[in-house]
Amino acid sequence: MRFLKLILAIVLVSSTVSAQTTHEYLGVITLSDSSFISYKLSFEETNGFIKGYSITDLSGPHETKSMITGTYDKDEKQLKFRESGIVYTKSPITQTDFCYIHFEGRLAKLNDRRKLAGTFVGKYDDGGSCIDGEIDMKSLVKIEKRAARLDKAVDKSILVSKEKKDAVNLLRTLDTLNTNFLRADEVVQVFSKDDSVTLTLTDVGQEDGDRISIYADDKVLVQNAAIGNKPQSFTITLSSKPVTLKVEATSAGSIGANTVQLTLSDSLNVIEAITNLEKGESASMVLIKQ
């Protein structure tokens, strides 16, 4: 009987862990100078503590992913979190110049229909004050459901041409916002505390002959290589000197632009980026050891 109780306890704990929900919110932050910036939150909650990440300026020139930690008090309906470090950024600013959000606001229920809103203060890495503002967000699940309803209504309308129906698709737009594209001449700074990271290459969707060359500083990792659905992985050693990965499209394949998925992973984070390059175009990822 004791053995049976032990087995049931293990099953219950395993079920609880595997059923943990990721809560996602999408909206904007309004800075004290009245400018708007898109903002996304993704986190998990365990016993009142939250952990996850934020993305600022989605698909924009300053897109930045940061880690967040905080608390959620369901009785007080209060959410608190702070950004604690950059995972990657497309902004040219240095890590020490980045303004981290420290948020405190009301949230009736996780992933509820009600919005997440409140004020935040901005702080530099050394604790100094920077720009403050407000956050206004809604559950991504709710936004996607509303987008699906609107797409369905547009698709049924006889007043909208097929060409416009194909061009206006809110769900596809949301999916694009959630995709980290690596575009021509972009430079993405990636931060890691590990001594090495793993780079994995895969073609996205149907294999269409996409070919790329990748250089780690002066070292050739792949040269004019055809990237298929079978992953190719490389280990890149990090040191005090940043490592620059140059990604060059040597062929755009037969279907659209060059769309190869690059996955960088270490012990803490997994970063996925999809190239969106024409033949001859290139982009760079600068790997920085913290």
Q: What is the pLDDT of residues 37-48, one digit of tens each?
A: 888 999 999 999
Whether the predicted pLDDT of 156 surpasses 70 = no
Question: Which band of pLDDT confidence, cut at 50, 70 and 90, is reported for residue 252?
Answer: confident
DSSP H or E stretch at residue 81: strand 78-89
Whether the predicted pLDDT of 125 surpasses 60 = yes
How far is it, in rounded angstroms, from Cα 158 to Cα 24? Answer: 35
CATH topology of domain 22-141: Lipocalin (2.40.128)
How far is it, in rounded angstroms, from Cα 146 to Cα 151? Answer: 9
Whether the predicted pLDDT of 81 surpasses 70 = yes
Query: What value does the mean pLDDT of the chain take?
Result: 80
Strands 270-276 and 260-265: antiparallel
Secondary-structure class of domain 180-289 per CATH: mainly beta
What pLDDT is attached to residue 12? 40
Name the CA dihedral angle for 70, 71, 76, 79, rounded to a multiple of 10 degrees.
30
Domain layout of the chain by residue ranges: 22-141, 146-175, 180-289
Whether the predicted pLDDT of 49 surpasses 90 = yes
pTM for the full predicted model: 0.77
Q: Collapsing DSSP states into helix, strand and coil, what is residue 174?
A: helix
What pLDDT is attached to residue 103? 95
Per-residue pLDDT averaged across 113-122, rounded? 86
Whether the predicted pLDDT of 168 surpasses 50 = no
Whether the predicted pLDDT of 9 surpasses 60 = no
